[in-house]
Amino acid sequence: MPSLQAFQHVLERIAEEIERTPGRGRAADYIPALAALDPRRFGMAVCEPDGTVYGVGEWRQPFSAQSVTKVFTLALDLAGEGDALWEHVGREPSGNPFNSLVQLEYENGIPRNPFINAGALVVTDRLHTRTGHAAETLLEFLRAESGNPELAFDLDVAASETVHGDRNAALAHLMASYGNIDNPVPVLLEEYFRQCSIEASCADLALATGFLARHGLRADGTRLLTRSQAKQVNAVMLTCGTYDAAGDFAYRVGLPGKSGVGGGIVAVVPGRCTLCVWSPGLDERGNSVAGVAALDRFTTLTGLSVF
């Protein structure tokens, strides 16, 4: 295992290697604010359980967190309702694209896992039922855990996703027809799109994910999740966090991780550190090309893995 100071050297080496790597994928083209981003931009941060953060590149640059936020809504809802959540969403890889409707029809409106869009909609719906303001609850949590009170929604991105939100609306309506959505679909979609629009940096998200490295403890020492629940979230991240590329991600990286089409990926080494990497160029499955490569190199260089 590296010394704490060695993390900075590892990050700098990774950044140099990524800079020389051709082919970075392409930015998400269905959200205009993301489509214009240069796919060669790159930032990476590592956070120790005590909150010490190391970074390289554009690690302080805010970006659209998108589906990375699903980790936090899952944790917040699981903390509130416990195992009852799993009656409404599964824990298995889907094997299909993140916005697929295919399985919902023959699985009676129960999504395969909380990280595909259908499952995330269910989690956000349940969090909204319990709190009355799912997106605001999430934002307050991220501000507290990152120590950054400036975190905010990007309402232009949320509006853009609303315009292009027909498939998410279809998912929500189909699940509602099976009784698996509590709130009016338009209300749920507004909360969901605002949730995904939150802008945060690699440093912010590495810090905010720290409770998973601390086995459920928040930054202030209070407990959000039991050790068992933290294990559950990490396990679902490992098997489902990068959509239908989760097997390849586990093979290459060997860490629980969650990606977003904004180009961000968070990853967890339980008991040791959390990471966030950002590069907007995506592969065909919606995962950051440089981000996956950087995390692959991190685990190879440091020997830090859950395996």
∠ CA 134-139-141, rounded to 5°: 95
What tokens does 99 get?
Answer: 């916005």
Edge-to-edge strand ranges of the sheet holding 63-64: 63-64, 198-200, 152-153
Q: For residue 94, what are its two tokens?
A: 């889907």
Residue 146 CA to residue 125 CA, distance in Å, equals: 24
Distance CA 166, CA 291 (A): 29
Distance of CA 106 to the CA centre of its chain: 27
Do residues 286 and 116 touch, judged by C-beta distance below 8 A?
no
Distance CA 44, CA 102 (A): 35
Start-end of H helices in the chain = 6-19, 32-35, 70-81, 102-106, 117-131, 134-146, 155-163, 166-177, 185-197, 202-208, 210-213, 227-240, 246-252, 289-302
Beta strand 63-64 with 53-57 is unpaired
Among all residues, which ones are annotated catalytic? Answer: 67, 70, 192, 243, 261
